[in-house]
């Protein structure tokens, strides 16, 4: 009885350990992605300074005033997706 509980518990621990090991690259990738968006420069997973300038495209056009802002493009994409979804729903 005790041996069965030990086997069951060790099997459960081993399962979680395997899941954690194989999930770590995914979590590290997301950490790196988030870290680099707020960093001036990175070395590996370490940030060498913090900044919000990587997000400046949200409040000013990165290519000059002759190009549309990201908000207009996003609104246009949302509008197009809404119209296409509605038109597909009404034909079926």
Query: How far apart (Å, rounded) are the C-alpha atoms in residues 91 and 86?
Result: 9
Residues 5 and 47 grouped into a single domain: yes
Domain that holds residue 90: 56-92
One domain, residues 41 and 5: yes
36/1 same-domain check: yes
Q: Is there a contact between 39 and 47 (Cβ–Cβ < 8 Å)? A: yes
The H or E element spanning position 23 is helix 2-37
Total domain count, the chain: 2
Summarize pLDDT for 48-63 with one digit per residue, the tens: 899 998 888 888 887 8
pTM confidence score: 0.59
The pLDDT of residue 66 is above 60: yes
Tell me the pLDDT band of 76, cut-offs 50, 70 and 90: very high
Do residues 60 and 46 share a domain?
no
Statement to judge: residues 67 and 44 lie in one domain = no
Least confident of 16-25, 69-78, 82-91: 82-91
């Amino acid at each position: 009885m005790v041996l069965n509980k030990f086997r069951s518990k060790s099997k459960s621990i081993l399962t979680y350990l395997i899941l954690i090991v194989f999930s770590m690259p995914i979590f590290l990738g997301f950490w790196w992605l988030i870290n680099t968006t707020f960093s001036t420069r990175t070395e590996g997973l370490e940030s060498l300074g913090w900044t919000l300038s990587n997000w400046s495209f949200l409040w000013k056009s990165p290519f000059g005033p002759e190009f549309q802002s990201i908000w207009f493009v996003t609104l246009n994409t949302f509008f197009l997706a809404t119209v296409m979804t509605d038109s597909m729903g009404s034909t079926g």
